[in-house]
Structure 1
Amino acid sequence: MDKLSASRRAVLGASALLAAGPAVAAGPAGEAEAKGILERYHSFGDKASGGPGDEASGAWLEGELTGLGYAVVRQPFDAPAFEGEATLATGQAMAGLIPQAIVTPTLAGGITGPLHGGDRDGGIALLVLPYARWSTALGEVERRVRAARGDAVVLVTTGPTGEACALNAPSDRKLFDRPVAVLAPKEAAPFVSASASGEAATLSMPGRSFRRPAYNVTATLTRRPSGKWLVLSTPRSGWFGCAGERGTGLAVWLMLAGWAAKANLPVNVALVATSGHEYEYQGGELYIAKVAPKPDETALWVHLGANVAARDWHERGPLLAPLPSADPQRFLLAAPKHVPALAAAFAGQPGLEKPYPVNPAQAAGELGSILHAGYDPAMGIFGSHRFHHTRSDDLRCVSPALIPPVVAALSKVISGAF
């Protein structure tokens, strides 16, 4: 009886997978597809919301989804933007900065005054942040900037790469009423020395702070007009090239969209690739509020956030050497009933092999918004790889081989979820 039951379960399990549709491409075919997506996304350049790269990547995705049979509709909105450059100079030292959004520019001549640690009026406060993988100006950064004195503030985002990290900000208000910018730790030494003795420095950040059109790419595939929905979401915008931060999640998302279009799933499918991500998930919030299926209409929401499958690095002092494995600082959260299936499907995949029950207080990014809006069950991946929010988040940070295992695991869990 036990052997017969085991055999019957195996047959039923295989039948369920066959009913769900064709298997996700694995091996060379899957890697080739992932490589094409990663390279195409990276080719559009910087992905700041509403900028040329964001616009072009959105139009590309619209074409891909239309070709898969989805009905595609843009969800328009406007996002903050800044045109200008920023530098900090003292003595013989000069360094480029990342202007902190929403940007308060300086006048053409900049701000000149003593460089200090934020403990005096006037001049420029230099705040060296503790070691972390920085991503947002909310929370600790906001508190430190507000507590600092000075006419302007320069932040040093100390972290694993020595590079400056762009920091997310709200879309509807300025966090700071004075110019704030970010300096790379690897260039900070002369400025830290100058701040210790109060030497004069000049912060120059002239330019134009404005708003511009942006849009979410939304798509649907309706099989059962009165049925429930599977929602697949991912952000597509970000501060720079975002190959690891955004590209890996987008590759998994697009491959899942192709699979879901062919699979015989007993649900309708809704897709969204959001802009406005770096403005505290602006596009994601708008999608939830105005376009997404309601929670009681949704059978499952799967979100692909940051660092879905970026590569890991060996750290050798200031030198980093890329590894073929995935950065384990990626987190998989899900409704408790799906945790066992996810643990089995993701066994052996660094970081994702340990899924956690969802907790809205611990979820980051858009996944937190999804949970707070009442979507249950939901699951999602998020994290911060070493080059998160830096200018060097390029194709060196990704490996096509890391994408298909994530797609295969998620498609397996989704198939068994209904």
Structure 2
Amino acid sequence: MTPSRRGLLMGAGTAGLAPLMPTDPQLDDAWHQSVLERYASHGDKATGGPGDMAVGAWLEEALTRLGYVCHRHGFQAPFFEVDQATLAIEGQSAPVIPQAPVSATGPAGLDAPLRLAWGTGSLEGTIALIVLPSRRWSSALDGLIQTRLSDAWARGASAAVLVTTGPTGDALALNAPAHLPPGAGPIAILAPNDAAPFLDAAADGQTGRLTLSGQGGQRPAFNLTARLDRDAGRAVVLSTPRSGWFKCAAERGSGIAVWLAAAHWLAQRRDPFDIELVAISGHEYENLGGEHYLEALAPGPERTRLWVHVGANLAARDWHMYGGRTRPLPGPDAQRYLLASPDVADSFGRAFAGHPGLEAPYPATVENSAGELTNILKAGYPSAAGFFGNHRFHHSHNDDLRCVSGALVRPVSEALRRALADILAS
């Protein structure tokens, strides 16, 4: 029996790279699905953790086989391996997500009165419960979150628990800077689906116990660069984050698949540009790895013809809330965005016509942007484009292969190649 493309990619060792070895693979639905499955198979992708490092090694070998010269560029990043993360009241306990970078309580936990954070009264010595309004939350640097946390610390709270009200009722992990602000106490995230008894307990002034215990500190991580040097003096750069919270199959996997397909396509062409690909770690720490790459390794703006940042949620599944259940839909979530600088906006607009959420590119400005693309634009790259968005299970434990498929990703992949072909020929 002839092995399938998917089976080869999911295999161990060099056999697992077989679909990435041909010079002209068929970049169809099945190929994109196999890349998604390979990415998801590595489990959680926290920066510098086993999953993140394994994905980096997989991509390194795959791109080397395509003729790229690969390098790892290391840096240090925070980490926290959880032993216990719970919020408890008498007779009831719920899991929480320790907010990174983690301020641990130790295994004994923190016992303190629960208090609802709204209002103006004292929170001295309490665990403040902060119920956020409904939104697809992504970053602890959101202005509302920063205001609520600063207020809780100013009123004397010993710890804070954020209830990330959102589209699924899941707890949503939040990106954050690599260093805690002065005076910050332990912070955890509680799922809205689990919050009711703790809100009742806080209204009654009951005591709760927040336990955030585990091992943490700093650990090594790396960005992976892959280059085709054609002595052109000007480069086309394609970047994509590869780390993230939990499995991040749709958030990260869709971008990895589109980026890897573009790597195949660019390797086959003979455009008069050097090609530089970078798979970035450290995304969850407010683009830590991307900052390292920009500062030390990226070709300067004057040497860059185009920079495309293949960011988050390029092709995540959409869902209905119907009959009290979340039901999958065959089409993509339209909460995804395309930004492009004026010189390439028409090319991207034509290529992505008919793609919900991507069909009307926004101007590529710092104010419009998110993720690593913000730093790219701040650094002054004149010709740039990028993608970002928050799908329904963004930053949730449930962002797994149910949230994405090769059939959703392949059209985006083809559209990106159409845009690049138009731009590079001009």
TM-score after normalising by structure 1: 0.91
5 Å matches for 1:298-313? 298-313=304-319
Select which of 50, 53, 60 maps to 2:51: 53
Give the corresponding residue for 2:171. Answer: 164
Separation in 1, partners of 2:207, 2:284: 33
Separation in 2, partners of 1:57, 1:365: 20
Select which of 12, 34, 40 maps to 2:38: 40
Query: Is 1:187 aligned with 2:194?
Result: yes
5 Å matches for 1:48-87? 48-84=46-82, 85-87=84-86
Give the corresponding residue for 2:228. Answer: 221
Say if 1:117 and 1:195, in contact at 8 Å, map to a contact too: yes
Separation in 2, partners of 1:351, 1:258: 26
Say if 1:265 and 1:415, in contact at 8 Å, map to a contact too: no
Give the corresponding residue for 2:144. Answer: 140
* Structure 1: runs of 5+ lacking an equivalent: 1-22
Separation in 2, partners of 1:257, 1:240: 26
Bigger mean CA offset, 287-296 vs 107-116: 107-116
5 Å matches for 1:89-238? 89-118=88-117, 119=121, 120-138=123-141, 139-148=143-152, 149-174=156-181, 177-223=184-230, 225-238=231-244
Give the corresponding residue for 1:388. Answer: 394
5 Å matches for 1:402-417? 402-417=408-423
Say if 1:121 and 1:150, in contact at 8 Å, map to a contact too: yes
Select which of 374, 378, 382 maps to 1:368: 374
Bigger mean CA offset, 62-71 vs 335-344: 335-344
Q: How much has 1:263 moved relative to structure 2?
A: 1.4
Query: Is 1:252 aligned with 2:258?
Result: yes
Separation in 1, partners of 2:181, 2:341: 35
Q: How much has 1:266 moved relative to structure 2?
A: 1.8
Separation in 1, partners of 2:78, 2:182: 13
Say if 2:339 and 2:361, in contact at 8 Å, map to a contact too: yes
Bigger mean CA offset, 112-121 vs 37-46: 112-121
Select which of 324, 335, 355 maps to 1:329: 335
Query: In structure 2, what residue type is equivalent to 1:145?
Result: L
Query: In structure 1, what residue type is equivalent to 2:52?
Result: D
Say if 1:24 and 1:408, in contact at 8 Å, map to a contact too: no
Say if 1:39 and 1:395, in contact at 8 Å, map to a contact too: yes
Residue aligned with 1:376, SS: coil
Q: How much has 1:388 moved relative to structure 2?
A: 0.5
Query: In structure 1, what residue type is equivalent to 2:406?
Result: P
Q: How much has 1:244 moved relative to structure 2?
A: 0.7
Say if 1:231 and 1:301, in contact at 8 Å, map to a contact too: yes
Residue aligned with 1:206, SS: strand
Say if 1:311 and 1:326, in contact at 8 Å, map to a contact too: yes
Query: In structure 2, what residue type is equivalent to 1:416?
Result: D
Residue aligned with 2:250, SS: helix
Change (3 A) 1:87 1:362: same
Give the length in aligned residue pairs. Answer: 394
Separation in 2, partners of 1:141, 1:362: 19
Say if 2:232 and 2:274, in contact at 8 Å, map to a contact too: no
Q: How much has 1:226 moved relative to structure 2?
A: 4.0
5 Å matches for 1:318-357? 318-357=324-363
Q: How much has 1:177 moved relative to structure 2?
A: 2.1
Separation in 2, partners of 1:359, 1:339: 12
Say if 1:74 and 1:218, in contact at 8 Å, map to a contact too: yes
Separation in 1, partners of 2:261, 2:272: 19
Give the corresponding residue for 2:247. Answer: 241
Residue aligned with 2:402, SS: helix
Query: In structure 2, what residue type is equivalent to 1:246?
Result: R
Q: How much has 1:297 moved relative to structure 2?
A: 0.2
Say if 2:78 and 2:218, in contact at 8 Å, map to a contact too: yes
Residue aligned with 1:215, SS: strand
Change (3 A) 1:247 1:176: farther
* Structure 2: runs of 5+ lacking an equivalent: 1-22
Separation in 2, partners of 1:176, 1:145: 11
Residue aligned with 1:331, SS: strand
Measured on the aligned residues, the alpha-carbon RMSD in Å equals 1.7
Q: Deviations over 1:34-83 (max 9, x none)?
A: 01100000000000000000010100000111011100000100100012
Separation in 2, partners of 1:301, 1:153: 40
Q: Taking every aligned residue pair, what percent have the same amino acid on both sides?
A: 53
Q: How much has 1:208 moved relative to structure 2?
A: 2.7
Give the corresponding residue for 1:88. Answer: 87
Q: How much has 1:276 moved relative to structure 2?
A: 0.2
Q: How much has 1:227 moved relative to structure 2?
A: 2.4
Separation in 2, partners of 1:277, 1:147: 27
Residue aligned with 1:73, SS: strand
Q: Deviations over 1:356-378 (max 9, x none)?
A: 12111110111111100011100
Separation in 1, partners of 2:157, 2:205: 12
